[in-house]
Structure 1
Amino acid sequence: MSRADLWNKRYLNKTDTAPVLPAELQRQLDSLAPGHTLDLACGDGAAALYLASAGHQLMAVDFAERGLRRLQQFAADHSVTVESHRCDLNNPDELRGLGRFDNIVIVRYLPERLLLNMLPDLMKPGAHLLITTFNQEHHLQSGFPLRFCLQPQQLIDQLPRLTLVCYDNGLLKGSVFDSYLFTL
Protein backbone atom coordinates (compact mmCIF):
# COMPACT_ATOMS: atom_id res chain seq x y z
CA MET A 1 0.00 0.00 0.00
CA SER A 2 1.38 3.40 -0.98
CA ARG A 3 1.85 6.28 1.42
CA ALA A 4 -1.02 8.12 -0.31
CA ASP A 5 -3.29 5.10 0.14
CA LEU A 6 -2.47 4.96 3.86
CA TRP A 7 -3.32 8.62 4.36
CA ASN A 8 -6.52 8.41 2.35
CA LYS A 9 -7.60 5.28 4.23
CA ARG A 10 -7.68 7.17 7.52
CA TYR A 11 -10.72 9.11 6.31
CA LEU A 12 -12.80 6.09 5.25
CA ASN A 13 -14.51 5.45 8.58
CA LYS A 14 -14.83 9.02 9.83
CA THR A 15 -18.26 10.47 10.44
CA ASP A 16 -19.68 13.20 8.24
CA THR A 17 -19.21 15.69 11.05
CA ALA A 18 -16.75 18.54 10.54
CA PRO A 19 -13.62 18.32 12.71
CA VAL A 20 -13.52 20.63 15.71
CA LEU A 21 -10.35 22.36 16.75
CA PRO A 22 -9.51 22.11 20.48
CA ALA A 23 -9.94 25.41 22.34
CA GLU A 24 -6.21 25.51 23.09
CA LEU A 25 -5.43 25.54 19.38
CA GLN A 26 -8.17 28.10 18.68
CA ARG A 27 -6.45 30.48 21.10
CA GLN A 28 -3.16 30.05 19.22
CA LEU A 29 -4.82 30.74 15.85
CA ASP A 30 -6.53 33.84 17.25
CA SER A 31 -3.09 35.50 17.42
CA LEU A 32 -3.10 35.78 13.62
CA ALA A 33 -4.69 38.77 11.90
CA PRO A 34 -7.00 37.82 9.04
CA GLY A 35 -5.23 37.70 5.70
CA HIS A 36 -4.17 35.34 2.94
CA THR A 37 -3.41 32.24 5.02
CA LEU A 38 -1.81 28.91 4.10
CA ASP A 39 -2.77 25.87 6.20
CA LEU A 40 -0.17 23.14 5.66
CA ALA A 41 -1.04 19.50 6.39
CA CYS A 42 -4.64 20.61 6.81
CA GLY A 43 -6.20 17.14 6.98
CA ASP A 44 -9.95 17.49 6.71
CA GLY A 45 -9.84 21.07 7.79
CA ALA A 46 -10.21 21.77 11.51
CA ALA A 47 -7.84 24.76 11.44
CA ALA A 48 -8.80 25.86 7.91
CA LEU A 49 -12.51 25.94 8.74
CA TYR A 50 -11.88 27.85 11.96
CA LEU A 51 -9.69 30.43 10.22
CA ALA A 52 -12.02 30.83 7.24
CA SER A 53 -14.90 31.53 9.63
CA ALA A 54 -12.69 34.19 11.29
CA GLY A 55 -12.24 36.07 8.01
CA HIS A 56 -9.04 34.56 6.62
CA GLN A 57 -8.69 33.89 2.89
CA LEU A 58 -7.62 30.22 3.09
CA MET A 59 -5.42 27.99 0.98
CA ALA A 60 -5.38 24.50 2.53
CA VAL A 61 -2.77 21.93 1.50
CA ASP A 62 -2.61 18.23 2.28
CA PHE A 63 -1.41 14.94 0.84
CA ALA A 64 -4.70 13.08 1.32
CA GLU A 65 -7.24 13.65 -1.44
CA ARG A 66 -10.05 12.25 0.71
CA GLY A 67 -9.22 14.70 3.48
CA LEU A 68 -9.36 17.58 1.01
CA ARG A 69 -12.71 16.40 -0.36
CA ARG A 70 -14.09 16.26 3.18
CA LEU A 71 -12.74 19.76 3.82
CA GLN A 72 -14.51 21.10 0.73
CA GLN A 73 -17.80 19.52 1.82
CA PHE A 74 -17.48 20.96 5.34
CA ALA A 75 -16.60 24.39 3.92
CA ALA A 76 -19.75 24.30 1.77
CA ASP A 77 -21.80 23.16 4.77
CA HIS A 78 -20.48 26.10 6.83
CA SER A 79 -20.77 28.63 3.97
CA VAL A 80 -17.06 29.47 3.97
CA THR A 81 -14.58 29.41 1.11
CA VAL A 82 -11.39 27.36 1.35
CA GLU A 83 -9.21 26.81 -1.67
CA SER A 84 -7.45 23.45 -1.45
CA HIS A 85 -4.45 21.92 -3.14
CA ARG A 86 -3.04 18.40 -2.99
CA CYS A 87 0.67 18.47 -2.23
CA ASP A 88 3.24 16.08 -0.81
CA LEU A 89 5.01 18.10 1.89
CA ASN A 90 8.01 15.79 1.56
CA ASN A 91 8.47 17.54 -1.81
CA PRO A 92 7.93 21.16 -0.77
CA ASP A 93 8.84 22.49 -4.22
CA GLU A 94 5.21 21.67 -5.08
CA LEU A 95 4.26 24.66 -2.89
CA ARG A 96 6.18 27.22 -4.94
CA GLY A 97 3.33 28.03 -7.31
CA LEU A 98 0.85 28.87 -4.55
CA GLY A 99 2.04 32.43 -4.00
CA ARG A 100 3.05 34.28 -0.85
CA PHE A 101 1.02 34.50 2.32
CA ASP A 102 0.30 36.80 5.26
CA ASN A 103 0.12 33.77 7.56
CA ILE A 104 1.21 30.16 7.44
CA VAL A 105 -0.17 27.70 9.96
CA ILE A 106 0.98 24.20 10.69
CA VAL A 107 -1.19 22.42 13.23
CA ARG A 108 -0.63 18.85 14.46
CA TYR A 109 2.20 18.20 11.99
CA LEU A 110 5.97 18.25 12.52
CA PRO A 111 7.57 19.75 9.41
CA GLU A 112 10.84 18.29 8.21
CA ARG A 113 13.96 20.41 7.63
CA LEU A 114 13.45 20.78 3.85
CA LEU A 115 9.95 22.21 4.35
CA LEU A 116 11.05 24.46 7.23
CA ASN A 117 13.81 25.96 5.08
CA MET A 118 11.34 26.82 2.34
CA LEU A 119 8.65 28.49 4.48
CA PRO A 120 10.19 32.00 4.51
CA ASP A 121 10.02 31.98 0.69
CA LEU A 122 6.23 31.60 0.95
CA MET A 123 5.82 34.54 3.33
CA LYS A 124 5.14 38.19 2.56
CA PRO A 125 7.20 40.76 4.51
CA GLY A 126 5.75 40.98 8.02
CA ALA A 127 3.98 37.62 7.65
CA HIS A 128 3.53 35.19 10.54
CA LEU A 129 4.28 31.49 10.80
CA LEU A 130 2.48 29.56 13.54
CA ILE A 131 3.56 26.01 14.25
CA THR A 132 1.52 24.24 16.91
CA THR A 133 2.09 20.54 17.13
CA PHE A 134 2.45 17.59 19.43
CA ASN A 135 5.16 17.43 22.09
CA GLN A 136 6.53 14.52 24.12
CA GLU A 137 3.55 14.59 26.49
CA HIS A 138 1.33 13.46 23.63
CA HIS A 139 3.63 10.47 23.15
CA LEU A 140 3.47 9.61 26.85
CA GLN A 141 -0.33 9.91 27.01
CA SER A 142 -1.24 8.20 23.76
CA GLY A 143 1.71 6.25 22.44
CA PHE A 144 1.87 8.55 19.39
CA PRO A 145 5.28 8.01 17.71
CA LEU A 146 7.92 10.11 19.45
CA ARG A 147 9.66 10.89 16.14
CA PHE A 148 6.63 13.03 15.19
CA CYS A 149 6.69 14.98 18.47
CA LEU A 150 8.55 18.21 19.15
CA GLN A 151 11.41 18.16 21.60
CA PRO A 152 11.51 21.15 24.00
CA GLN A 153 12.73 24.28 22.16
CA GLN A 154 13.37 22.20 19.02
CA LEU A 155 12.46 24.90 16.52
CA ILE A 156 13.87 27.98 18.27
CA ASP A 157 17.02 28.09 16.12
CA GLN A 158 15.73 26.20 13.08
CA LEU A 159 14.47 29.21 11.10
CA PRO A 160 17.30 31.77 11.02
CA ARG A 161 15.53 33.95 8.41
CA LEU A 162 12.59 34.44 10.78
CA THR A 163 12.22 36.16 14.14
CA LEU A 164 10.73 34.19 17.02
CA VAL A 165 7.85 36.18 18.51
CA CYS A 166 6.57 33.65 21.03
CA TYR A 167 7.34 30.11 22.18
CA ASP A 168 4.92 28.17 24.37
CA ASN A 169 6.38 25.01 25.88
CA GLY A 170 3.21 23.08 26.59
CA LEU A 171 5.05 20.55 28.73
CA LEU A 172 5.32 23.18 31.47
CA LYS A 173 1.53 23.20 31.82
CA GLY A 174 0.81 19.55 30.97
CA SER A 175 -0.36 20.33 27.44
CA VAL A 176 0.27 17.96 24.53
CA PHE A 177 1.08 20.92 22.22
CA ASP A 178 4.07 23.20 21.83
CA SER A 179 3.63 26.41 19.82
CA TYR A 180 5.98 28.72 17.98
CA LEU A 181 5.06 32.04 16.41
CA PHE A 182 7.58 33.55 13.99
CA THR A 183 7.54 36.64 11.79
CA LEU A 184 9.42 37.51 8.64
Structure 2
Amino acid sequence: MNKWDRRYSQDESLMLRPLPLIEECCKGMAPARALDLACGSGRHSLYLAGLGWKVTAVDFSEVALELLQSRAAERNLIIDTRLFDLEKGEFIIEPESYDLIIDTFYLQRGLFTQIRQGLKIGGLLIAVIALVDHDPDLKPMNPDFLLEPGELKSEFSDFEIIHYLETRRDPQKRPNAEIVARKVNRQAEL
Protein backbone atom coordinates (compact mmCIF):
# COMPACT_ATOMS: atom_id res chain seq x y z
CA MET A 1 0.00 0.00 0.00
CA ASN A 2 1.51 3.36 -1.00
CA LYS A 3 1.54 6.37 1.34
CA TRP A 4 -1.47 7.94 -0.41
CA ASP A 5 -3.55 4.78 -0.07
CA ARG A 6 -2.67 4.70 3.65
CA ARG A 7 -3.64 8.34 4.03
CA TYR A 8 -7.05 7.92 2.38
CA SER A 9 -7.68 4.62 4.21
CA GLN A 10 -7.25 6.37 7.56
CA ASP A 11 -9.51 9.37 7.02
CA GLU A 12 -12.47 9.20 4.63
CA SER A 13 -13.52 12.73 5.54
CA LEU A 14 -10.43 14.25 3.95
CA MET A 15 -11.30 17.37 2.06
CA LEU A 16 -15.00 17.11 1.36
CA ARG A 17 -15.65 20.72 0.34
CA PRO A 18 -14.15 22.25 -2.78
CA LEU A 19 -11.82 25.18 -2.36
CA PRO A 20 -13.69 28.52 -2.42
CA LEU A 21 -11.60 29.55 -5.44
CA ILE A 22 -12.91 26.55 -7.40
CA GLU A 23 -16.51 27.28 -6.38
CA GLU A 24 -16.19 30.96 -7.24
CA CYS A 25 -14.67 30.35 -10.67
CA CYS A 26 -16.85 27.44 -11.78
CA LYS A 27 -20.32 28.29 -10.51
CA GLY A 28 -21.20 30.42 -13.53
CA MET A 29 -19.33 28.48 -16.21
CA ALA A 30 -21.13 26.38 -18.79
CA PRO A 31 -20.34 22.73 -18.04
CA ALA A 32 -17.97 21.03 -20.47
CA ARG A 33 -14.92 18.74 -20.10
CA ALA A 34 -12.75 19.01 -16.99
CA LEU A 35 -9.58 17.31 -15.78
CA ASP A 36 -8.80 17.08 -12.07
CA LEU A 37 -5.10 16.25 -11.65
CA ALA A 38 -3.97 14.45 -8.49
CA CYS A 39 -7.63 14.56 -7.47
CA GLY A 40 -7.29 12.70 -4.19
CA SER A 41 -10.71 11.85 -2.79
CA GLY A 42 -12.25 14.01 -5.49
CA ARG A 43 -13.84 16.99 -3.78
CA HIS A 44 -13.42 19.13 -6.92
CA SER A 45 -14.46 16.33 -9.27
CA LEU A 46 -17.66 15.77 -7.29
CA TYR A 47 -18.42 19.47 -7.24
CA LEU A 48 -17.91 19.84 -10.99
CA ALA A 49 -19.86 16.68 -11.87
CA GLY A 50 -22.68 18.01 -9.70
CA LEU A 51 -22.72 21.10 -11.89
CA GLY A 52 -22.98 18.95 -15.01
CA TRP A 53 -19.32 18.80 -16.05
CA LYS A 54 -17.88 15.69 -17.74
CA VAL A 55 -14.96 15.05 -15.36
CA THR A 56 -11.83 12.96 -15.69
CA ALA A 57 -10.16 12.51 -12.29
CA VAL A 58 -6.58 11.21 -12.09
CA ASP A 59 -4.75 10.04 -8.99
CA PHE A 60 -2.14 7.51 -7.84
CA SER A 61 -4.20 6.28 -4.88
CA GLU A 62 -6.56 3.43 -5.63
CA VAL A 63 -8.17 3.97 -2.21
CA ALA A 64 -8.88 7.64 -3.00
CA LEU A 65 -10.38 6.80 -6.38
CA GLU A 66 -12.59 4.09 -4.84
CA LEU A 67 -13.78 6.62 -2.27
CA LEU A 68 -14.48 9.11 -5.07
CA GLN A 69 -16.46 6.52 -7.06
CA SER A 70 -18.47 5.61 -3.95
CA ARG A 71 -19.31 9.26 -3.28
CA ALA A 72 -20.18 9.81 -6.94
CA ALA A 73 -22.53 6.78 -6.93
CA GLU A 74 -24.28 8.09 -3.80
CA ARG A 75 -25.01 11.30 -5.72
CA ASN A 76 -25.85 9.58 -9.04
CA LEU A 77 -22.85 11.24 -10.68
CA ILE A 78 -20.57 9.79 -13.32
CA ILE A 79 -16.85 10.56 -13.03
CA ASP A 80 -14.20 8.96 -15.20
CA THR A 81 -11.51 7.96 -12.69
CA ARG A 82 -8.03 7.04 -13.84
CA LEU A 83 -5.41 5.33 -11.68
CA PHE A 84 -2.04 6.62 -12.88
CA ASP A 85 1.25 7.71 -11.38
CA LEU A 86 1.63 11.22 -12.77
CA GLU A 87 5.27 11.38 -11.68
CA LYS A 88 6.11 8.42 -13.93
CA GLY A 89 4.36 9.99 -16.92
CA GLU A 90 1.74 7.24 -17.07
CA PHE A 91 -1.08 9.66 -17.88
CA ILE A 92 -0.84 11.83 -20.98
CA ILE A 93 -3.06 14.90 -21.26
CA GLU A 94 -4.41 14.81 -24.79
CA PRO A 95 -3.94 18.11 -26.68
CA GLU A 96 -6.91 20.49 -26.95
CA SER A 97 -9.11 18.14 -24.88
CA TYR A 98 -10.24 20.09 -21.82
CA ASP A 99 -12.18 23.26 -21.07
CA LEU A 100 -10.97 23.24 -17.47
CA ILE A 101 -7.93 21.75 -15.75
CA ILE A 102 -7.65 21.80 -11.98
CA ASP A 103 -4.37 21.24 -10.16
CA THR A 104 -4.54 21.69 -6.40
CA PHE A 105 -1.68 21.02 -4.02
CA TYR A 106 0.28 18.99 -6.55
CA LEU A 107 3.39 20.18 -8.34
CA GLN A 108 5.04 18.41 -11.20
CA ARG A 109 6.70 20.96 -13.38
CA GLY A 110 6.90 18.47 -16.24
CA LEU A 111 3.09 18.62 -16.54
CA PHE A 112 3.00 22.36 -17.24
CA THR A 113 3.54 21.84 -20.97
CA GLN A 114 0.87 19.14 -21.11
CA ILE A 115 -1.55 21.35 -19.17
CA ARG A 116 -0.90 24.19 -21.59
CA GLN A 117 -1.44 21.93 -24.60
CA GLY A 118 -4.35 20.00 -23.08
CA LEU A 119 -6.55 23.04 -22.66
CA LYS A 120 -8.73 24.16 -25.53
CA ILE A 121 -8.48 27.81 -26.61
CA GLY A 122 -10.55 29.69 -24.04
CA GLY A 123 -10.05 26.88 -21.50
CA LEU A 124 -9.27 27.66 -17.89
CA LEU A 125 -6.51 26.51 -15.57
CA ILE A 126 -7.19 26.76 -11.86
CA ALA A 127 -4.21 25.84 -9.70
CA VAL A 128 -3.31 26.21 -6.04
CA ILE A 129 0.21 25.00 -5.29
CA ALA A 130 2.48 25.29 -2.24
CA LEU A 131 5.26 27.87 -2.20
CA VAL A 132 8.76 27.72 -0.78
CA ASP A 133 8.81 29.06 2.76
CA HIS A 134 11.75 29.14 5.11
CA ASP A 135 9.68 29.30 8.30
CA PRO A 136 11.47 26.95 10.73
CA ASP A 137 8.16 26.06 12.40
CA LEU A 138 6.79 24.44 9.23
CA LYS A 139 7.33 20.77 8.51
CA PRO A 140 10.14 20.42 5.94
CA MET A 141 8.99 19.54 2.46
CA ASN A 142 10.81 18.35 -0.65
CA PRO A 143 11.69 21.55 -2.55
CA ASP A 144 10.88 19.77 -5.84
CA PHE A 145 7.23 20.04 -4.79
CA LEU A 146 7.34 23.74 -3.91
CA LEU A 147 7.04 26.71 -6.25
CA GLU A 148 9.36 29.67 -6.11
CA PRO A 149 7.60 33.04 -5.71
CA GLY A 150 6.32 34.20 -9.11
CA GLU A 151 7.09 30.87 -10.78
CA LEU A 152 3.50 29.83 -11.53
CA LYS A 153 2.58 33.23 -12.97
CA SER A 154 5.71 33.22 -15.10
CA GLU A 155 5.08 29.67 -16.31
CA PHE A 156 1.64 30.63 -17.64
CA SER A 157 2.50 34.16 -18.78
CA ASP A 158 1.25 33.31 -22.27
CA PHE A 159 -2.24 32.84 -20.79
CA GLU A 160 -4.66 35.58 -19.78
CA ILE A 161 -4.13 35.80 -16.02
CA ILE A 162 -7.54 36.33 -14.44
CA HIS A 163 -6.43 35.86 -10.83
CA TYR A 164 -3.01 35.43 -9.26
CA LEU A 165 -2.21 35.53 -5.58
CA GLU A 166 0.58 34.31 -3.34
CA THR A 167 -0.76 34.07 0.19
CA ARG A 168 -0.73 32.23 3.48
CA ARG A 169 -4.42 31.69 4.27
CA ASP A 170 -3.60 29.80 7.47
CA PRO A 171 -0.70 31.03 9.64
CA GLN A 172 0.07 27.42 10.63
CA LYS A 173 0.47 26.25 7.04
CA ARG A 174 2.68 26.84 4.06
CA PRO A 175 1.82 29.71 1.69
CA ASN A 176 0.35 28.92 -1.73
CA ALA A 177 0.31 30.38 -5.19
CA GLU A 178 -3.18 30.58 -6.72
CA ILE A 179 -3.78 31.10 -10.41
CA VAL A 180 -6.81 31.27 -12.63
CA ALA A 181 -5.65 31.62 -16.22
CA ARG A 182 -7.36 31.36 -19.60
CA LYS A 183 -5.64 29.88 -22.64
CA VAL A 184 -5.77 32.44 -25.39
CA ASN A 185 -5.04 32.23 -29.08
CA ARG A 186 -1.98 34.46 -29.32
CA GLN A 187 -1.80 33.79 -33.08
CA ALA A 188 -5.18 35.50 -33.53
CA GLU A 189 -3.77 38.62 -31.86
CA LEU A 190 -0.95 38.96 -34.40
1:6 pairs with one of 3, 8, 15: 3
Aligned to 2:153, what secondary structure does the other structure show?
Answer: coil
Which deviates further from its counterpart, 77-86 or 124-133?
A: 77-86
Determine the C-alpha separation between the residues in 2 that align with 1:86 and 1:30: 28
Instruction: Give per-residue Cα distances to partners, 1:110-130, cap 9 Å, x unaligned.
Output: 2x2211111122111110011
State yes or no: 1:181 paired with 2:175.
no
Mapping for residues 93-172 of structure 1, pairs under 5 Å: 94-96=91-93, 100-110=97-107, 112-136=108-132, 142-143=138-139, 145=141, 147=143, 148-171=145-168
How many equivalent pairs are there?
A: 177
Conserved? CA contact 1:40–1:60, under 8 Å: yes
Aligned to 1:70, what secondary structure does the other structure show?
Answer: helix
Distance 1:85 1:71, change over 3 A: same
Instruction: Give per-residue Cα distances to partners, 1:65-92, cap 9 Å, x unaligned.
Output: 1111111001112222211111221244
Conserved? CA contact 1:128–1:181, under 8 Å: yes
Report the AA paired with residue 61 of structure 1: V
The Cα of 1:7 is off from its aligned counterpart by 2.4
Distance 1:65 1:105, change over 3 A: same
Higher Rg: 2
Aligned to 1:155, what secondary structure does the other structure show?
Answer: helix
Structure 2 unmatched runs, 5+:
184-190
2:186 corresponds in structure 1 to none
2:22 pairs with one of 24, 28, 43: 28
Identity %: 25
The Cα of 1:172 is off from its aligned counterpart by 8.3
State yes or no: 1:49 paired with 2:46.
yes
The Cα of 1:94 is off from its aligned counterpart by 2.3
TM normalised by structure 2 equals 0.78
Determine the C-alpha separation between the residues in 2 that align with 1:89 and 1:72: 20
Conserved? CA contact 1:37–1:57, under 8 Å: yes
Distance 1:124 1:98, change over 3 A: closer
Conserved? CA contact 2:131–2:177, under 8 Å: yes
Report the AA paired with residue 134 of structure 1: A
Distance 1:138 1:98, change over 3 A: farther
TM normalised by structure 1 equals 0.80
Structure 1 unmatched runs, 5+:
none
The Cα of 1:42 is off from its aligned counterpart by 0.1
Instruction: Give per-residue Cα distances to partners, 1:33-68, cap 9 Å, x unaligned.
Output: 232110000011111112222232211011111111
